[in-house]
Amino acid sequence: MPEDMCVPFTSGQLSAWLLFYGPSSDRLTRWERWTFPEEVSRETVVEAVRQVTGCHEALRTTARVGADGLMEQRIHPVGPVDMEHLDQVFAEDEIIELIRRLVKEPIAMAEGPLPRWIMGRTDTGGLFLLLLLHHFVLGSRGGKALRDELM
């Protein structure tokens, strides 16, 4: 897709947006977590995330008020994936605390990118990957599909 594509909200999306979400709501931040053994390289994980992002438009979609005043979803073309690489080595309880802290941060629905990918190293030598995104973008079924694809 060479340019951004805009599509209107469905009536269900619009109702949920108006009732619960809003442009910077942190009420329903979802997270997913993957753990990889030490044989898996950072480059392999980044490439897997790039592939999944290319396949799933929801991971490239932002939401905003359009020029006509109506809510719209903007599906962005495939591009580089923003991923935070944490230098610290994390114990299990530190990963849990990191997740608790991160889910409280609001997600800017209009600016994007909506998924926030974070990679770090576990104290057992492997890698962990976190995905934080707004529930508006990815519900529980979509989360399961992503979990399966990245394992």
Q: Which residues pair with 83 in a beta bridge?
A: 117
pLDDT for the residue numbered 124:
96
Rounded to whole angstroms, the Cα distance separating 17 from 2 reads 28
Q: In what order do the strands lie in the sheet with 5-8?
A: 5-8, 71-75, 61-65
Please say if the pLDDT value at position 96 is more than 90: yes
Token readout for 24 is 């910077």
Containing structural domain, residue 143: 5-149
What is the DSSP code string of 42-53?
HHHHHHHHHHHH
Question: Any idea what DSSP says for residue 57?
Answer: G
Higher pLDDT, 2 or 9: 9
pLDDT for the residue numbered 2:
46
Q: What is the mean pLDDT of residues 39-53?
A: 94
Domain count, the chain: 1
Q: Which residues pair with 61 in a beta bridge?
A: 75
Q: What is the mean pLDDT of residues 45-53?
A: 93
- Domain of 117, CATH number, reads 3.30.559.10
Per the prediction, the chain carries an average pLDDT of 82
